[in-house]
Amino acid sequence: MKNVFLQHKLCSMQKPLILVTNDDGITAPGLRALVKFMKEVGDVFVVAPDSPQSGMGHAITLDNTLYSKKMKVDLMNGAKEEYSCSGTPADCVKLGLQELLDRRPNLCVSGINHGSNSSINVIYSGTMSAAIEAGIEGIPAIGFSLCDYSWEADFDQAKESIIKIVKEALENGIPKGVVLNVNIPKLSKKELKGIKICRQARANWKEKFDKRTNPMGKDYYWLTGEFELLDKGEDTDEWALANGYISVVPTQFDLTAHHAIQHINNWNLHE
């Protein structure tokens, strides 16, 4: 009886296990900052791509082999264990949960991404797709992004806010089927006004293709474009970011348009 009580006490004292991943690669400054922050909250386990995987969305590797390698990227501020993965961000989470971890993590955090994943960008984001993959597996998950594409971006300015959001998620839980999309404006710590819970702004990309010809006479294209905000609401992530707030959007991976079911049911499809 005494041994059972002791075992229960030890389990209750166990630090939360936090799985950290991203899409910019295992050596990216954003991930290294997130690892450092998460070490103040719990035990950290990293599975991240061995090379940049931005814009991969929720792609997974089906027709090729996956490789993982145990690493130690930062001897001073590194995680308890770290693995690079040859696949996509979603692959990293799948491999971590099914093969590399010896216990179920209490939380998965993805990022910190170099650049915004607000509004429509969430669709294309490897950062958010990694978090969503964890959510699909029933792991509470959060994606973090900083609206600064620079490799030398200052991630420390949002440290307190990131830790606060993570601690609240661990203490209060995240609703089932929901993943948090957190975006941080490019501001100093003093300039940050706070945190706002938002909806995703309606927006789109007006795409353009820069058509060129290589020396062999073959045409090729560079994708470019302009971000087009279609939403003037003051309850959106884009408004929050533009006005100095960190935006938190509860995102769901059930893509059913429930409000449209009745409308489609009125179509003449059943005869």
Q: Please give the sequence-ordered ranges of beta strands (E in DSSP) within the chain, or none if there are none.
A: 17-21, 43-49, 68-71, 81-85, 107-114, 141-146, 178-184, 194-197, 203-213, 219-229, 245-252
Q: Which of 25, 13, 205 is nearest to 127 (CA)?
A: 25
Compute the distance between CA of residue 111 and CA of residue 89 in angstroms, rounded to an integer: 10
Instruction: Check if the beta carbon of residue 132 is closer than 8 Å to that of residue 141.
Output: yes
| 221 neighbors 212 (Cβ within 8 angstroms) | yes
Omega before 142 cis (within 30°)?
no
Show the tokens assigned to 266: 């009125």
24 is in an annotated binding site: yes
- Give alpha helix (H) positions in 81-236: 89-95, 126-136, 159-172
CA 135 distance to own-chain centroid: 11
Q: Strand, coil or helix: what is 69? A: strand
113 among the known binding-site residues?
A: yes
54 known ligand binder = yes
- Tokens (6 digits) for 176: 């089932």
Q: Is 68 assigned to a binding site? A: no
Pairwise CA distance, residues 201 & 206, whole Å: 16
**Burial bucket for residue 53 (CB in 10 Å: 0-12, 13-18, 19+):** buried
Binding annotation:
23-24, 54, 113
Binding annotation for a divalent metal cation:
23-24, 54, 113
